Structure 1
Amino acid sequence: MSSQPNTAKHVAIIMDGNGRWAKRKHLPRAMGHRQGVEAVRKLVRSVEPMGIDCLTLYAFSSENWKRPEDEVGDLMNLLRKFIKSDLPEFIANDVRLKIIGDWKGLAPDIVAQLEDALEQTSKGSRILAVALNYGSQDEIVRAARRAADEGEVTADAIERHLDTADLPPLDLLIRTSGEVRLSNFLLWQCAYAEMAFVDVLWPDFTPEHLQQALDEFADRERRFGGR
């Protein structure tokens, strides 16, 4: 094992378990999503001292449109409120917002809010990437098509056209709620990322849980296909 501990600079999280959290507490699913937003706030505020340069969160997948209309509507309203309420804090704390996925397919008012937030945070040094209307297979197909338009389709060419092309390589992917699958999230980027599956529902996930995952990551030996 290397004598130098690994430091995770880019961490991605599949935020899973809002619905189950609400069900266990005999609350509406909407309350689970709202508590999930509070967990996001606490986490974003905690990452700087942990040495994380980029935090990527799976907020809304392209498959989530299959959920009941009222639940999707509540999620979209939460997104509107989150952008409006937290944008000043992002600016004050040098956070650059990055959106991945087909986010321009969202409601026009949300798109306008996001465009404004992207512009206002464009100079930030720490990155919060949010996956909205995102599906990794779709991302790879889009990137491959763009690579083909330019000429030869190679791994490097595809990577240049991924939504995450301007982000650092993914070091660690965390999924909450005890589920052990990727759910069409960052499939390409996870090729050599380390993974942690945490048996904690997302609304209960704290900065302490994140630090524990980082500590475990630091003890792993990363070989990237070598020996």
Structure 2
Amino acid sequence: MLVRRALNWLKDKITSKAQQILLTILAAGPIPKHVAFVMDGNRRYARRNQKNISQGHKDGFVALKRSIQMLEICLRLDVKCVSAYAFSIENFKRLPEEVDALMGLAEEKLVELCDHGDLLDQYGVRLNVVGRTELLPESVQQAVRRAESLTRHHHKAIFNLCMPYTSRDEMTSAVQFCVQNAAREGPNAIITEDDIDAQLMTSLGGSPPLDILIRTSGVKRLSDFLLWQCCENTQLQFTTTYWPNFGLLDFVPIILDYQLKVWRS
């Protein structure tokens, strides 16, 4: 508790040099290879700050941009993969104006990534848009294709932007592929857990096993995100910070907790 209070106090005071010292200390311990975020709390953040819902989600996408910039920090810590839950397939059931605002923001940020790709180039980050992209408006699909193609040659790190995505859909697609493949092989074909795992969208994108899943805003549920990937050794972390406010000093206690558990195991 005392450490967390100190980190909260430092949020607006920490300098780049202090960040570097902190990262150097953290890097001396075990570091997760794959960290995932459920970016929750945008709408509640908007209400709390007397903003409309679309503005709250816009702040969330601004924070998403900051998280991409924070990949530099992840690279220094040797985190190889970051996954973020940006839009669920179920979100299409929301009010049309809210969905339209989210789609517009998604296109805007993807275009911005393309126009400022030097950051991704500098740190070798490959962007994967994971999910049923055919459900997106055509203009957003075009932005997805362009953003992915510009980073296909990168191999140092992976950023999975999950939209529109649900884990049930991912697992269903993987099982369907395995069944179809088994039917071609004949009646003696056997479908194994490894076969299904190999056909998951994250596996196809080259992601390592999931070490930590973080959900912001204090809500303690997975909401159909990376359910298969969470089934074994994934460490679940829930923070009360709303996603638009989530930053490095919210991340530090999570890494420390991961390191402690690794050392104790």
Alignment partners' CA distance in 2, 1:14 and 1:122: 25
> Following superposition, which runs of at least 4 residues in structure 1 exceed 3 angstroms of deviation?
none
Matched, 1:23 2:47: yes
1:1-227 mapped onto 2 (5 Å cutoff): 5-46=29-70, 47-87=74-114, 88=117, 89-124=119-154, 125-151=156-182, 152-165=190-203, 166-191=206-231, 192-221=233-262
Contact 1:5–1:219 under 8 Å retained in 2? no
**Structure 2 gap segments, 5+ residues each:** 1-27, 183-189
Contact 2:32–2:79 under 8 Å retained in 1? yes
Alignment partners' CA distance in 2, 1:38 and 1:142: 31
Deviation string for 1:145-198 (max 9, x for gaps)? Answer: 111112222101101111011211101000000000000000000012111000
**Structure 1 gap segments, 5+ residues each:** none
The structure, 1 or 2, with the larger RCO (C-alpha pairs under 8 Å, 6+ apart) is 1
Deviation at 1:222, TM superposition (A): 8.6
Contact 2:214–2:239 under 8 Å retained in 1? yes
Q: 1:67 to 1:148 in 2, by over 3 A?
A: same
SS in 1 for 2:58: helix
Instruction: Give the % identical residues.
Output: 32
Alignment partners' CA distance in 2, 1:175 and 1:169: 18
Letter in 2 for 1:67: R
SS in 2 for 1:138: helix
What is the root-mean-square deviation in Å for CA atoms of aligned residues? Answer: 1.7
Alignment partners' CA distance in 2, 1:32 and 1:44: 19
Give the helix-richer structure, 1 or 2.
2
Using the size of structure 2 for normalisation, the TM-score is 0.79
Q: 1:156 to 1:180 in 2, by over 3 A?
A: same
Letter in 2 for 1:6: P
Using the size of structure 1 for normalisation, the TM-score is 0.92
Give the strand-richer structure, 1 or 2.
1
Deviation at 1:77, TM superposition (A): 0.6
